[in-house]
């Protein structure tokens, strides 16, 4: 197909028009570039995060802007869950003069984005990426916002040890950073406290049959009193059903990805299973209040903790702009890195003293009689959180 | 350009034009485009390398490959590990085997190593693929993709498993991507018009027809697969240095489908199609994603509508598949030279003065049983050079089976086939063809997607010293069969009778000792039949080859043949000169069966005498 000249002309024209229409940043504005996956495999995480983030920015702008001074302009681009498209989108946002970049929940897309923003040290925040390595892979301008895998694992290990568990079995899958590394972080903290790991099993995400692993657990010379995994659907339900069917009653702990209706629906099978969340909407608490406000503002209920987390990024940026008193990216980066116990919806968040993955509250929840029961919200000391696995 | 075949001249001009077009677009973007536009162009260039590599294999063999995405992944990790600064390697890849650590190679050196690994992997996997037919080979590439990604995930010490692999220096910009894309386009365009390229396309078009002119299908599959694996792995290596951070899943089904979709949109069967596919898709994405971001258009506030780009892409693909099933390029190369200049074809080669040596093709008690039914039983025939032997018999008598047994399309259940003392039975068809036995088929087997000239030239290349000689020999045979004016037409567009003549030209150009013709005059009118018979008689006179002719037109058989063999129910009833056979009551009884037919035969003999 050879394009005729009029077609090329129209394309050039439309490109020129759209470029001209891209919002220019004025003296009292701050341009925030949002390059996240609104379509594709990451959309279930990035869409709710964006909804919460936009709500925060709208509210802050109504109150005079970030730091009460700078009206925030959002330039939003869809990366279609594609790393190369993320690079292009971030480059365009940097070209347009963005002072802050928000990236997808995926660690490698965030790292790829960070390689572009690192040159100007533009602060780059991932929506809900939890792999601790993303904060250290490129430079000090990358920040996590959601509880990192290592942070969650530290809270779970702490709780497990306090409950009297001493011998753990790890169920990992090399198929994702989350399923591979989180149990390992758990083991690190658990062992430091005095616990022991008596075995490790590996599964393939999506495998229907866990009988080999169940048999291996039953045959262990030293029976574990806890099984730790970061498996989620459909693996977690499949595993626990087959485990219980084989007569193994050992308690199973998981992480934030099993806080779903499906797992809750397993009823008695998951009795005693403890998992984490970025927050828990306790009656009368701040998260419940946020969820209500979110539902009124957007017209639909919050589906997950990601809405609140997206909203909290708005609060983080507001505090950073206030502290920096400027829209200069480097000053903003320094301001974020210096945030200490900033009050947010689910508790407080601290970047000071970390390498970019925040220390923040993690809620522990336990399934009892098919219902999630809130245990506690904990904020571990930065020193207790295991270092990011490189 | 005197020493080049017409096809290669056209290919060179096309290749240069495509490379130039890519360079000009890249130059304009480098000069006037924003950093963002340059990123878009760089990524498009890298995709082009991937898609062109895929086209080189899938376009020429007709085997759709999903495995290329995985090979791109291997290339990415090899370049990643070999070019990573030692300091980063020490933290990012703590458990890297010492053998692989600390090279810090330049991108160029790393790509050379990638190419070497690609050749080894390509040959190893290709050795399996080449033994499979199109659809099972496709499934095998799918399996390869799964295997590769599983291994990449499993090799945690080298790849960090599913965790992001980072710290790769980013040395690929617009210039590198453009150069790589241009080189890939040139190679893919030229490959198509090399001898191997033609053989590969011929086998993809009609594997049985290709074997009958001595083409070993496996050779083309292996060659194009290995070459295209090299391209895919280099594309992956370059991508690694462009995106800088990745995980094995980035080289999985999504990438496989994305590159395949681009190729199908552009046109699977041409390198130009790959270029058009990547160009059109990139343009579409760029326009659509600007619209979906919303904003203020001429005073009207439009909210962002994400997903619009994907919807537009899906719609465009549906539209292309519906309106242009062969892709936007129509599956054709540009063939600029042919369109713009009136190419003067090289003169047809003169008739070779070397005659094939006198030989004797014999079947000795040959038989073929299909699940207990004897299609051919115990047939012993001598078919010498210099003679036309007719094989006649009612439908189902086993005539075509006998030809298939001789030419290697089927292996005999008993007995043997010999040229002089050399046994042929059990050899694959392409090897039988190489002993000097050419054939045509009852259901014509020309290569429909290749030009008339290419059809004959591909056959000629087995015996001619180079492509130019092959082209000249091909033009000689086309002239002989009255097809010279159709040389550039696609064979599939020829009418029935001309396709039959093309098949005969293709057989004759191999200068066979024996020519087996399965109903060559079927579907021809009497004038065409007479012309064909004259040609065959002349060829026999000049070349002294042996012709074996299956034909229902008894008049033709009796006039042309020196000897006639009559088959019935798979058995040889009688054999001898036409006059003797015609008078044999067994023939009248078995073959013609009734008194009416006997009268017809008598009338026939009056006519022919």
Closest residue of A to B283, CA-based?
A11
Asked if B51 and B278 count as a contact pair (C-beta separation under 8 A), the reply is yes
Chain A: nearest CA to B186, how far in angstroms? Answer: 19
pLDDT at A203 over 60: yes
DSSP H or E segment with residue A304: none
The most confident of the ranges A66-70, A380-384, B292-296, B593-597 is A66-70
**CA pair distance A287, B104, nearest whole angstrom:** 50
**CB-based contacts of A329: which residues, under 8 Å, 6+ apart?**
A99, A100, A120, A121, A122, A123, A141
**CB-based contacts of A181: which residues, under 8 Å, 6+ apart?**
A131, A149, A389, B163
Nearest to A107 among B164, B254, B293 (CB): B164
Chain A: nearest CA to B518, how far in angstroms? Answer: 42
**CA pair distance B279, A302, nearest whole angstrom:** 41
Domain definitions of chain A by residue range: 27-147+285-357, 150-277+363-384
DSSP line for B56-88: HHHHHH----STHHHHHHHHHHHHHHHHS-HHH
Chain B: nearest CA to A15, how far in angstroms? Answer: 7
Question: Looking at the complex, does the CB of residue A172 fall below 8 Å from at least one CB of chain B?
Answer: no
**Secondary structure of B393-438 as H, E, C letters:** CCCCCCHHHHHHHHHCCCCCCEEEEEECCEECCCCCHHHHHHCCEE
Closest residue of A to B165, CA-based?
A108
Question: Looking at the complex, does the CB of residue B167 fall below 8 Å from at least one CB of chain A?
Answer: yes
Burial class (CB in 10 A: 0-12, 13-18, 19+), A209: exposed
Helix (H, G, I), strand (E, B) or coil at B391: strand
Helix (H, G, I), strand (E, B) or coil at B602: helix
Question: Looking at the complex, does the CB of residue A108 fall below 8 Å from at least one CB of chain B?
Answer: yes
What is the per-residue pLDDT across A106-145, written as a single tens digit (0 to 9) for each?
888 999 999 999 999 999 999 988 888 888 888 899 999 9
B92 with A111: Cβ contact below 8 A: no
Biggest CA-to-CA distance, chain B: 98
- Can you identify the CATH homologous superfamily of domain B358-436+551-609? P-loop containing nucleotide triphosphate hydrolases (3.40.50.300)
In B, residues 42-61, which contact A (CB 8 Å cutoff)? 43, 46
Question: Looking at the complex, does the CB of residue A355 fall below 8 Å from at least one CB of chain B?
Answer: no
A77 with B293: Cβ contact below 8 A: yes
Q: Which of B155, B164, B302 to mutate to test the interface with A (most CBs of A within 10 A)?
A: B164
**Secondary structure of B88-152 as H, E, C letters:** HHHHHCCCCCHHHCCCCCCHHHHHHHHHHHHHHHHHHHHHHHCCCCHHHHHHHHHHHHHHHHHHH
Nearest to B25 by CA among B34, B11, B38: B38
Sign of CA dihedral B369, B370, B373, B379: negative
Sign of CA dihedral B421, B425, B429, B431: negative
At B596 the pLDDT is: 54
At A280, list the tokens. Answer: 């828990």
A112 with B35: Cβ contact below 8 A: no
Question: Looking at the complex, does the CB of residue A137 fall below 8 Å from at least one CB of chain B?
Answer: yes
The CATH code of domain A150-277+363-384 reads 3.40.50.2300
Helix (H, G, I), strand (E, B) or coil at A225: coil
At B372 the pLDDT is: 82
**CA pair distance A107, A102, nearest whole angstrom:** 12
Quote ipTM for the complex.
0.81
In B, residues 76-95, which contact A (CB 8 Å cutoff)? 91-92, 94
* A361 DSSP 8-state letter: -
**CA pair distance A61, A63, nearest whole angstrom:** 5
B310 with A39: Cβ contact below 8 A: yes
Domain definitions of chain B by residue range: 6-249, 358-436+551-609
User: CA distances (Å), A299 to each of A44, A294, A296, B301, B589, in order?
Assistant: 18, 8, 5, 21, 92
A389 against B204, higher pLDDT: B204
Asked whether the domain spanning A150-277+363-384 has the same topology as the one spanning A27-147+285-357, the reply is yes
Question: Looking at the complex, does the CB of residue B246 fall below 8 Å from at least one CB of chain A?
Answer: yes
**CA pair distance B410, B45, nearest whole angstrom:** 48
Residues of chain B with pLDDT under 70: 1-2, 590-609
**CA pair distance B17, B20, nearest whole angstrom:** 5
At residue A17 the predicted structure's pLDDT band, cuts being 50, 70 and 90, is very low
For chain A, what is the radius of gyration of the CA atoms? 22
Asked if A166 and A195 count as a contact pair (C-beta separation under 8 A), the reply is yes
At B131 the pLDDT is: 95
pLDDT at A8 over 60: no
CB atoms within 10 A of CB B490: 17
Burial class (CB in 10 A: 0-12, 13-18, 19+), A300: exposed
A134 with B164: Cβ contact below 8 A: yes
What is the per-residue pLDDT across B479-526, written as a single tens digit (0 to 9) for each?
999 999 999 999 999 999 999 999 999 999 999 999 999 999 888 888
Q: Which of A24, A73, A131, A390 to mutate to test the interface with B (most CBs of B within 10 A)?
A: A390
**CA pair distance B124, B147, nearest whole angstrom:** 14
**CB-based contacts of B557: which residues, under 8 Å, 6+ apart?**
B390, B392, B549, B551, B564, B578
Question: Looking at the complex, does the CB of residue B156 fall below 8 Å from at least one CB of chain A?
Answer: yes
A1 with B329: Cβ contact below 8 A: yes
Question: Looking at the complex, does the CB of residue B102 fall below 8 Å from at least one CB of chain A?
Answer: no
Question: Looking at the complex, does the CB of residue A252 fall below 8 Å from at least one CB of chain B?
Answer: no
CATH number 3.40.50.10490 is the correct assignment for the domain at A27-147+285-357: no
**CA pair distance B203, B53, nearest whole angstrom:** 19
A91 with B35: Cβ contact below 8 A: yes
């Amino acid at each position: 197909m050879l394009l005729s000249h009029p077609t090329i002309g129209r394309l050039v024209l439309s490109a020129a028009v759209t470029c001209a229409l891209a919002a220019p940043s004025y003296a009292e504005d701050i341009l925030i570039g949002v390059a996240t996956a609104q379509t594709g495999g990451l959309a279930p995480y990035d869409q709710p995060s964006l909804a919460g983030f936009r709500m925060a920015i709208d509210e802050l702008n109504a109150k005079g802007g970030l730091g009460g001074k700078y009206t925030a302009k959002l330039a939003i681009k869809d990366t279609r869950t594609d790393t190369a498209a993320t690079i292009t989108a971030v480059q365009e946002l940097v070209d347009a003069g963005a002072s802050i970049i928000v990236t997808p929940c995926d660690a490698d897309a965030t790292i790829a984005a960070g390689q572009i923003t690192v040159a100007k040290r533009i602060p780059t925040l991932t929506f809900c990426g939890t792999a601790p390595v993303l904060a250290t892979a490129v430079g000090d301008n990358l920040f996590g916002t959601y509880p990192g895998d290592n942070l969650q694992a530290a809270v779970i290990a702490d709780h497990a040890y306090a409950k009297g568990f001493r011998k753990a079995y790890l169920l990992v899958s090399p198929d994702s950073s989350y399923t591979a590394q989180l149990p390992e972080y758990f083991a690190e903290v658990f062992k430091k406290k005095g616990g022991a790991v008596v075995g490790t099993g590996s599964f393939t995400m999506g495998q229907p049959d866990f009988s080999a692993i169940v048999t291996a657990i039953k045959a262990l010379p030293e029976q574990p009193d806890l099984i730790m995994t970061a498996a989620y659907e459909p693996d977690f339900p499949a595993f626990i059903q087959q485990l219980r069917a084989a007569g193994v009653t050992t308690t199973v702990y998981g992480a934030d990805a099993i806080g779903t209706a499906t797992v809750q629906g397993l009823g008695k099978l998951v009795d005693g299973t403890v998992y984490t969340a970025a927050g828990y909407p306790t009656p009368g608490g701040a998260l419940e209040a946020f969820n209500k406000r979110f539902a009124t503002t957007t017209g639909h209920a919050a589906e997950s903790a990601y809405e609140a987390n997206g909203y909290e990024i708005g609060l983080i940026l507001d505090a950073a702009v206030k502290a920096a008193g400027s829209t200069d990216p480097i000053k903003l980066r320094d301001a974020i890195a210096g945030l200490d116990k900033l009050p947010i919806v689910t508790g407080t968040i601290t970047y000071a003293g970390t390498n970019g993955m925040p220390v923040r509250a993690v809620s522990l929840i336990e399934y009892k009689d098919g219902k999630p029961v809130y245990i506690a919200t904990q904020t571990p000391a930065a020193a207790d959180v295991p270092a990011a696995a490189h | 350009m005197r020493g080049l075949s017409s096809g290669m001249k056209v290919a060179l001009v096309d290749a240069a034009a495509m490379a130039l077009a890519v360079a000009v677009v890249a130059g304009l973007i480098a000069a006037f485009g924003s950093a963002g536009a340059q990123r878009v162009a760089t990524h498009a260039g890298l995709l082009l390398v991937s898609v062109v590599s895929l086209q080189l294999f899938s376009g020429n063999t007709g085997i759709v490959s999903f495995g290329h995405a995985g090979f791109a992944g291997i290339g990415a990790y090899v370049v990643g590990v070999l070019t990573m600064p030692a300091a980063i390697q020490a933290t990012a890849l703590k458990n890297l085997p010492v053998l692989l650590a600390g090279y810090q190679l330049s991108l160029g050196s790393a790509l050379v190593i990638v190419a070497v690994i690609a050749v080894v992997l390509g040959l190893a996997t290709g050795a399996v693929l080449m033994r499979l037919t199109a659809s099972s080979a496709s499934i095998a590439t799918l399996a390869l993709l799964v295997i590769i990604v599983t291994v990449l995930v499993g090799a945690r010490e080298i790849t960090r498993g599913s965790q992001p692999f980072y710290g790769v220096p980013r040395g690929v910009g617009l210039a590198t991507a453009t150069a790589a894309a241009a080189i890939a386009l040139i190679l893919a365009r030229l490959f198509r018009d090399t001898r191997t390229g033609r053989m590969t396309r011929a086998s993809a078009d009609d594997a049985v027809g290709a074997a009958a002119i001595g083409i070993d299908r496996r050779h083309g599959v292996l060659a194009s697969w290995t070459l295209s694996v090299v391209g895919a792995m280099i594309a992956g290596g370059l991508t690694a240095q462009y995106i800088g951070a990745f995980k094995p899943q980035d080289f999985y089904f999504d990438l496989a489908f994305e590159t395949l979709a681009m190729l199908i949109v552009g046109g699977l069967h041409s390198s130009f199609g790959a270029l058009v596919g990547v160009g059109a898709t990139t343009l579409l994405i760029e326009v659509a994603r600007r619209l979906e971001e919303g904003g203020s258009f001429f005073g009207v506030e439009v909210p962002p509508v994400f997903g619009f780009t994907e919807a537009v892409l899906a719609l465009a693909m549906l539209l292309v598949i519906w309106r242009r099933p062969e892709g936007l390029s129509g599956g054709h190369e540009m063939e600029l030279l042919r369109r713009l200049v009136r190419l003067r074809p090289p003169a047809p080669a003169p008739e070779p003065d070397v005659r094939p040596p006198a030989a004797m093709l014999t079947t000795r008690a040959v038989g073929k049983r299909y699940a207990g039914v004897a299609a051919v039983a115990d047939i012993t025939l001598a078919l010498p050079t210099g003679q036309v032997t007719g094989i006649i018999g009612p439908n189902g008598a086993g005539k075509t089976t006998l030809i298939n047994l001789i030419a290697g399309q089927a292996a005999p259940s008993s007995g043997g086939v010999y040229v002089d003392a050399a046994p042929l039975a059990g050899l694959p068809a392409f090897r039988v063809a190489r002993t000097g036995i050419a054939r045509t088929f009852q259901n014509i087997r020309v290569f429909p997607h290749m030009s008339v000239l290419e059809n004959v030239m591909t056959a000629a290349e087995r015996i001619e010293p180079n492509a130019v000689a092959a082209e000249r020999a091909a033009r000689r045979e086309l002239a002989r069969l009255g097809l010279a004016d159709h040389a550039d037409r696609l064979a599939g567009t020829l009418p029935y009778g001309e396709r039959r003549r093309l098949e005969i030209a293709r057989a004759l150009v191999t200068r066979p000792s024996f020519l087996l013709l399965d109903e060559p005059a079927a579907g021809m009118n009497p004038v065409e039949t007479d012309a064909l018979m004259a040609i065959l008689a002349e060829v026999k006179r000049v070349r002294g080859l042996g012709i074996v002719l299956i034909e229902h037109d008894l008049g033709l058989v009796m006039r042309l043949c020196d000897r006639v063999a009559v088959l019935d129910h798979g058995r040889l009833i009688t054999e001898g000169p036409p006059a003797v056979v015609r008078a044999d009551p067994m023939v009248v009884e078995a073959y013609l069966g009734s008194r009416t037919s006997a009268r017809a035969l008598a009338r026939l003999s009056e006519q022919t005498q």
